[in-house]
Amino acid sequence: MAKQKTTLYLDEDVLRRTEAAAAESGRNESEVVEDALRRYLGLEVVEQVWARNAEKALDPEVALELAYAELRAFRAERGSSAA
């Protein structure tokens, strides 16, 4: 994945802990910050799901049919609860 340089302003305590975590893990500060952001944003879960589903991906037509069926069921449930 392409990387882009950015500037962040961090509290001194956070920066010191980031530097310490990088030194302890043998990574650089950028990798520690990116890892923390990925966890915070839930990206590692998304990546795990994509990786798991890539092995047994649905045919696009089947996936579309399933999505529409779920949408119809949701709308029907919502319509009946509004009454």
Residues 18, 32: contact at Cβ < 8 Å? yes
More confident residue, 15 or 48: 15
Distance between CA atoms of residues 48 and 38, nearest Å: 12
Residue 64 predicted with pLDDT over 90: no
What proportion of the chain, given as a percentage, has pLDDT over 90? 47
Average pLDDT in the 13-35 region?
Answer: 97
Residue 38 has pLDDT above 90, yes or no: no
Cα 12 from Cα 22, distance rounded (Å): 15
Q: Is the pLDDT of residue 5 over 90?
A: yes
Q: How confident is the model at residue 78 (pLDDT cuts 50, 70, 90)?
A: confident
- pLDDT score of 12 more than 90: yes
